[in-house]
Structures are given as C-alpha cells and as structure tokens.
Structure 1
Amino acid sequence: MFNKTFLITGGTGSWGEELVKQLLVQEPKEIRIFSRNESLQAQMRQTIPDPRVKFVLGDIRDRWELAGACKDVDDVFHLAALKHVPVCEDQPDCAVKTNITGTQNVIDAAIENGVRKVVYVSTDKAANPSSMYGMTKAIGEKLILLADSRSATSFACVRSGNVLGSTGSVVPLFKRQLELKQPLSVTDSRMTRFFLPLGDAVEILLSAMEQCEGGEIIVPRMPSCKITDIAQVLAEDAGQKHVPIHFIGARPGERLYETLISDWENVSEVEEEKSYFVVTASSSPKLSDKEGCETSVLPGRGYHSEDVIMTKAEVRDMLWRGGFLCSNGGSYLQEAAPPVM
C-alpha cells in the first residue's frame, strides 16, 4: 500500500470512510474518492482533512469520467452501487445502469489505464439471488471474474454480509426508534442476517487487495443473528426492556435467510486464522496450491445464515465491540433509514 495511488468508487459511504482511514495509516501516495454527491464529498473533506485524499465528482455510469479518474492509479476499490433492495425493485433500470453497466465501466477504465488490481465489493444477496439488487450484484461478480481472465489487470471480489451501522443499516433505525419511544420495526420474527463490524470488514477488503491473485471471490467468515435479537439487545441496553416489536412483513425481493456461499460453488478455506473462504469459478482455485489453503471445506452444503446463528449474549458482545451500546458512549439520535435486511 505504501506510496501507491488508489481510486475508491462510491468512497463517501461508511465503507469508504473507514477504508480511507485504514489506508492512510499505510502511507499511500494518493487516495481518490470518486462519487456523484458533492455534499457528502464536502463532509468527508472536513472529516478527513488530509492532502493525500482527493475528491473527483463523477458517476460510474459515465465511462469517460471513470477513465479520467483512473489515470495513473495503481489499485481500485469498487464500492459504488445502488444497494437498497426496495429501490432496486422499484427502479430496476437504475439498478442495471449502476450495478451492471457501471461495473463494466470500472472494468474498462481500469484495463485502459493499466491498473494493477481491482477489488469489487459484492453482497451475500448475490448468492442464489432473489431480488433485483442481488441479481445485479451477481452479474457484477461474473463481469469481474470474466475481466480477470481476459486482461493483465487482476480482478477479485469480496462478498460480504451486512456491516454493522453502515448506511441504511437496521441498527441506526432501531436506535432512532428507541430514542423516540416508538415500537421497533422488524420484518419477520424468523429473519436472520450475517453481520460484521465495519472495521473488520475493511480489514478483509485490504487483505484481499494485498493477497488476491485475480479471479477469486473472498468471503469473510461471518456469524449471523436474528434481527429480533439485535432489537431486544438494543432495547435492553437503552432501558426499554419491554418495548413492543412491530412485525411489518418482508418486502418484495427480501428473504428470511441469507446465503454467503451457494451449495454448488467451489470453495477453499485459507487456514491462516481461518478468517475467510475463497470461491472461484474453476475447479482449481488460484489459492489452492498455496501453503495453508484447504479445498472443498463445504462439500454439498453452502454457507447459510440459519446455520451459524449467534446466541443473544454473542449478539450483545458484537454490538459492544462495534460501539453500538449505550455504555460505549455516543448518541442514539441518528438519521433513520428504511431497514436493509
């Protein structure tokens, strides 16, 4: 990472801000934030007033803007996407333009400019997709893997579950509702989701950039939990143990459980710390020949949220480590957003 120039698409979100903070510690030459929201860029400029962080206004749907932003860039983190399931269901044309065409534009711009590596952030909803959002991200994965096989630039994916407290997360919504003494809105009592603290997710993203050879899908080893357990732990911590929970029903495209690795995908596990899996399209994963990598660790069974559910005590510990409990400080009054499940 030392003395390199990075481009981060969609870099003004929660992922991007944490990524910039962790990158700056490693003394890069320059970090370019490419996004279309000037207000968020202005806010981030004030939050991280480092001269190595540059801001470029642009849209990944515009290939020429991307091509200019990629000039003299060493590595690209592709974070930009439409990610809210209801929005993508209601406006599938926008989802296609951003998540599919936009990803192809990132690929073309990177190859044209001789970028060394591109890491694409995907989602558990891309495995056996049931929503428009999941379908577009699954196609994005395919485009990334195909590009790796056809160019000198290395392309890889990081497929993650939900990140605690990220933009649109259910945690800020629950905190807002607790602050306003409102019932907590949960889609379904059976719903489970994968979760990972933001700092941990970005560490895996950086590790993927350093270690990937191209053609891999990196899947963090993530626990899952019931959404009702998150709601109850936050309520208890706020001194509202008996707050009512309002079940609003799953929305179009949502499912009760999530999948990080499908049953049919070819999988290997990196033995070092056993912190993530590697999924590849071929029967001979690029990492499988390396020391410390064991193949076919999930024969006949994928990685599903209903199989790795945390206890309520473990949920409490996760929220504590993420800084989301009252005793860990901070205000609960945050801008609420529709729950992203």
Structure 2
Amino acid sequence: MNYRKRMLLLAGLDSIIVFFAVNLSYYHLRPVAGTPNYENLVLSASVLLVSYHFFASCFLLYSKAWEYASILEMKGILYAVTLSVLAVGAVKIMMQATIYPGIMLTVWMLMVLLIGGSRFSWRLYHNRYIKPKQDMKRVLIVGAGQAGTLVARQLLNNPELQLVPAAFIDDDPGKYKLHIMGIPIAGSTDHIAEVAEKFKIDNIVIAIPSLRKHELNTIYAECSKTKVKTQIMPKIEDVMIGKVTVGQFREVGVEDLLGREPVELDIDSISEYVSCKIALVTGAGGSIGSEICRQVCKFSPKKIVLVGHGENSIYQIDMELRNKYAKSIEIVPVIGDVQDRDRMMEIMEEHRPNVVYHAAAHKHVPLMEYNPREAVKNNVFGTKNVAEAADVFGAGTFVLVSTDKAVNPTNVMGATKRIAEMVIQQLAQQSETKFVAVRFGNVLGSRGSVIPLFKRQIQNGGPVTVTHPEMTRYFMTIPEASRLVIQAGSLAKGGEVFVLDMGEPVKIIDLAKNLITLSGYTLEEIGIKYSGIRPGEKMFEELLNENEVNDVPIYPKILIGKSSLSNYEMVTNLINNFHSFSENDLKDYVLTLVNNRAKQLSVIGK
C-alpha cells in the first residue's frame, strides 16, 4: 500500500473512532449529563475531529510503520489524544458551552484504547500472518540489558535474517523468569549449555558491550560447551554511526579472548608532538606500519609520509588514508628501500619530518636464520640509515619498533633488532633528536604470525601444526601495539627502550584450540600436530632481562629501560667489516655481540 492510501485509511479509521468515542461517551453518561444537547454533541465531535487530525499530523501518526510499533509510537498517540481533548475543552470555555469532565475523560480513554489498539493489532497481525514463512534459527541472547533488547527487537522485526530470539541469559537474579517482548530470561551464564539444549538453540549472540576481556573469556568458555555457533553483537558506536547494523553479528575473534583490557591513551601528550606536525613512517605498508599510519592520522598531522619498499602495499595504505583524510592531511606515498642510505637522506631532506616511526624490518625468525646477511642489512643498516637521516635533518622524535626477541636473543632476527636498538641509543647520546625503541611481542594477525597460518590450515581441513605443547608467546593486537608505540613516542627523553606490558604469555596450543573452536570445528575434526621447535626459536619469550625488571610502569602498560653502551666498538666493527664476514661467522658474531651486551642493561624507574 502506498503512502497516500495508507494515510487516508488511517485518517478515515481515526475519524470513525472519534465519532464513536464521543457518541458512546455522551449516551453512556446520559443519566449523569441529562439528555444530550445535539448542538453541543456536534460541536464537541467536530472540534475533537479537527484537533485530533492536526495533532496526529504533528506527531506523525499517519507516517509511522505500525508493524514495528513500540512504546515510542504509543507516546505519540497519548500526546495527540490528550491535546485534542484539551482543545475541545478550550473551545467550549471560549463559547461558554457546558463542559462535562466525566464525558471528556471517557472520550480520552476510549480514543487511546481504540486508536492504540487498532495500531498495535496491526503489528500483531503483521507478525503473525504477514511475515514470510521460513526455517528460522533459534537464537540465545546472552545479556538481557539494553543491548540484548535491541538485538531481540532487530531479530523480531527483520525476518530476512532468518533468526528468531528464543531465550535470554542474564546474570542479574532479579530478572530470572521474567519475559522481555515475550522472550524468557532462562538463567545465568552458568546455565548456557543447559538452556541451549532446552530451547534447541542454533545460534548464540553475546550482547553485553561492557564486557571485560576476562568476562568474555568466561562466557565464551561456557558457550563453547554447547558446540553452537557463537557470535558477538557489533560495537554500539559502529551501530550509531551507521557503519554496521545491529543484526550484523561478527564472529568472536582470538583478539576478543586475549584477556587484557585496552589501554587509554594520553591524548594531550600525543597531540602535542603529532598534531599539525609532519610524520614519517617506514614500512608503512606492513601490518604494524600501516596501523601506525591509521592511528597517527587520527591526531591530525599536517603531513604523513608513507615510506615502503613494496609498491602494492604502499598503494593500498595510501588509497585507504586518502579516502578518509585527503581533505585534512597531506598524504605522500614514497617508494624507497631503507638499505639505500642516499634515498633515505633524500626523503628526510625533502620532507623534514618532526617524528619518525621506523617499522621497516625483516621479522621472520626461521627465515632470518637462513639469511643472516639480509637480516643485518635490513634491520641494522636500514635502521642506521633512517636514524642518521633523521638526525641530520632535525627530526624531533625517532621511534624504533623493536621486539621481545631482542632480549637474550637465540636467533639472528632478535640479535639484529637488539643491535638496531644499540645503534639508536648511541645516536641518542650525541643528537638533538630523541631516539627511543619500543619492544613488544607477537602481534595477532600480522604478516608471518601464527594466526593466518592456523586459519589457512583450518580452512584446508587441518591439521594445525604447533611446534611444542609447552611453547608460549606474548600476544597483542595490531591496533593496541600501534597505539602504544605512538604513546611511547610522547614519553621519549632520548635513549630509552620502552617495553610494552603484554599481559600474561599464552600457550600456542591454547591459541590453536581457540581458533579451531571459533571456526566452528571440533578438535577431533581438525586435529593438532606437533612439528618440533624451528631453528632459532625459544620455548618462551622475555620482555625484559632479569636485571631490567621494574614493576613500576612509566605509563599504564609501558615500562622503561635504559642501557649503558660500553664497548660499542663491537657494533662499529660489524658495520665497518660487514662484507668480510661469512654467513656463519656473521651469525655467530651478532649473537655473541648482543648476549655480551645484554647483561649491561638496567631499568630506571621514573
């Protein structure tokens, strides 16, 4: 039915209701009011009809989709009826006509009842008979608060989703056995498995936006007992800005189960050294580098320079940033290899950045064991080239993205990253630029990490390969790591090694199990195979040496260390005589160099 026909139908129905309510009220109260004065009756009905249609239009009662009617629409009816009845009273006072309060109250009640009833009966009829018949999956909603109610309403009003809410779960004892929109609150989170079986649940939706990480872990552990697909509602802020709809549930991800709360950034301190300044990011097309670019752009730099060796990855982050920030930020994509010293000097001279984030590096541990020369060229010489260029052309802050593998390294990748830290710490002693390094562990979803590998193996039917059942690693999400790198830059005084608190280490085997269940499979279906520790790998990683440990962070989730660089001649010797080393000698030299130096690190609490 088109809008015009719909409006005429509703207006006609309401006109009948108005005349019926007035006449019934007058005749019902005739013993009290006496024989009705037909002129008074016609006047009342006419004024009431005109005023009601006026106020109904004001409150859009003829423009609403009543098949989705709620308390908000009921309020509109109450306002329109009340004001129209009061308008009749006002006209009668002006015309000095007799007013019968009992009749007016009865008219008001009848109009509210009949107009409201006609609208809501349409919703009931629509829900019962007009919604398309299809096989609906039964949904258990975890959380009977505002978010859970929002999800339930969305599912009820959108049958095309093929999901119907069957029950709620909530930990508030005061809500047990109550019903919301006819849906029972069937128990607490401890009862998820039995409720899912009782109500024959096909899907579980977690709808508690305020959940902390460890609480989500607990709830997901209960959901995983059911073997039912578990999803989570989108973020409320994404719904509010129209990025997604309430019904676009997402899968629970490994990052949701990390068990660590997000860190609040010091916006003012970051803005001070980033906003309206020129930022340069090396490795801008990589996982960490590209996310640093996204985070930096939120602080409105004057210009951001995207430096990278791979043209495709730089093109992608360039296009992404231009789509969002082209009108407010100058975005400059630059193709260049950090191993090319002259090119780095050219870039720094042309753009004169205020802050440099150096994320370009070789980071794959086993590959670097087979290619130590390339690891030194990229991680040591590349860092030296970019850092010295930043020094020559007066950058205010230089932040090196380092790794926990630089602590007591047993592999070439970790050793070269530790030497890179030493290079910038040496520069910090003689430069006006504030040089700092930031260490963190494995980043979920970054290129070369275990997560993409595990996902591919699961998609291929398994098995998932884990090196050792006891192997542990620290994990952090890409956005979290990038935000803390930017925060560390605001804390720089020069020469520090910042260490990000990665929370508790996670067993790789537990990560694999979680990914399998999150993907909708059982461990038996996919299987886990132990492949053995690879060259250069440790059983566990460290964020600090034992003599670096300091329990007092300089900022939430950020610890600070500072090293004394005696015998830097060993690094100088490596740089000056690099080409004279064989591959094996080079590998032995860098490992010896850093493990001798590691003991000289000490943490200074500030």
TM-score range, shorter chain: 0.7 to 0.9
Q: How does 1:60-79 map to 2 (within 5 A)?
A: 60-71=338-349, 72-79=352-359
- Aligned partners of 1:139 and 1:265: how far apart in 2? 17
Could you tell me which of 326, 329, 336 is aligned with 1:58?
336
Per-residue CA deviation, residues 250-303 of structure 1 (Å, 9 max, x unaligned), is 111011110110113364632653x12111115998974xxxx4xxxxxxxxxx
Q: Work out whether 1:109 is the aligned partner of 2:389.
A: yes
TM-score (norm 2): 0.46
One-letter amino acid of the structure 2 residue matched with residue 26 of structure 1: F
Per-residue CA deviation, residues 306-339 of structure 1 (Å, 9 max, x unaligned), is xxxxxxxxxxxxxxxxxxxxxxxxxxxxxxxxxx
Q: Taking CA–CA contacts closer than 8 Å with sequence separation of 6 or more, which of the two structures ends up with the larger relative contact order? A: 1
Inter-CA distance 271–136: structure 2 relative to 1 (3 Å threshold): closer
Inter-CA distance 268–139: structure 2 relative to 1 (3 Å threshold): farther
- Aligned partners of 1:129 and 1:92: how far apart in 2? 14
Could you tell me which of 218, 222, 225 is aligned with 2:506?
225
Could you tell me which of 475, 493, 516 is aligned with 1:235?
516
- Aligned partners of 2:549 and 2:277: how far apart in 1? 33
Give the corresponding residue for 1:269.
552
Percent of paired sites with the same residue: 36
Inter-CA distance 286–6: structure 2 relative to 1 (3 Å threshold): farther
Q: How does 1:282-301 map to 2 (within 5 A)?
A: 282=564, 288=605, 293=606
Of Structure 1 and Structure 2, which has the larger fraction of its residues in strand? 1
- Aligned partners of 1:10 and 1:153: how far apart in 2? 20
Inter-CA distance 244–284: structure 2 relative to 1 (3 Å threshold): closer
Equivalent pair of 2:547/2:603 in contact (CA under 8 Å):
no
Give the corresponding residue for 1:124.
404
C-alpha root-mean-square deviation of aligned residues, in Å?
A: 1.8
- Aligned partners of 1:128 and 1:287: how far apart in 2? 19
SS at match of 1:93: helix
Moved more, 50-59 or 142-151: 50-59
Shift of 1:48: 2.3
Give the corresponding residue for 1:35.
308
Equivalent pair of 1:58/1:65 in contact (CA under 8 Å):
yes
Give the corresponding residue for 1:281.
563
- Aligned partners of 1:18 and 1:191: how far apart in 2? 28
Give the corresponding residue for 1:306.
none
Between the two proteins, the alignment pairs up a number of residues equal to 288
Inter-CA distance 33–271: structure 2 relative to 1 (3 Å threshold): closer
SS at match of 1:157: strand
One-letter amino acid of the structure 1 residue matched with residue 347 of structure 2: A
- Aligned partners of 1:9 and 1:143: how far apart in 2? 17
SS at match of 2:546: coil
**Which consecutive unaligned segments of at least 5 residues does structure 1 have?**
294-341
- Aligned partners of 1:85 and 1:219: how far apart in 2? 20
Give the corresponding residue for 1:11.
284
Q: How does 1:1-341 map to 2 (within 5 A)?
A: 1-49=274-322, 50-51=325-326, 52-71=330-349, 72-223=352-503, 224-242=505-523, 243-265=526-548, 267=550, 269-270=552-553, 272-273=555-556, 275-282=557-564, 288=605, 293=606
Inter-CA distance 91–23: structure 2 relative to 1 (3 Å threshold): same
TM-score (norm 1): 0.81
Equivalent pair of 1:269/1:278 in contact (CA under 8 Å):
no
Which portions of structure 1, spanning 4 or more consecutive aligned residues, are displaced by more than 6 angstroms?
A: 283-287
Equivalent pair of 2:390/2:433 in contact (CA under 8 Å):
yes
Moved more, 5-14 or 173-182: 173-182
One-letter amino acid of the structure 1 residue matched with residue 509 of structure 2: T
Equivalent pair of 1:266/1:280 in contact (CA under 8 Å):
no
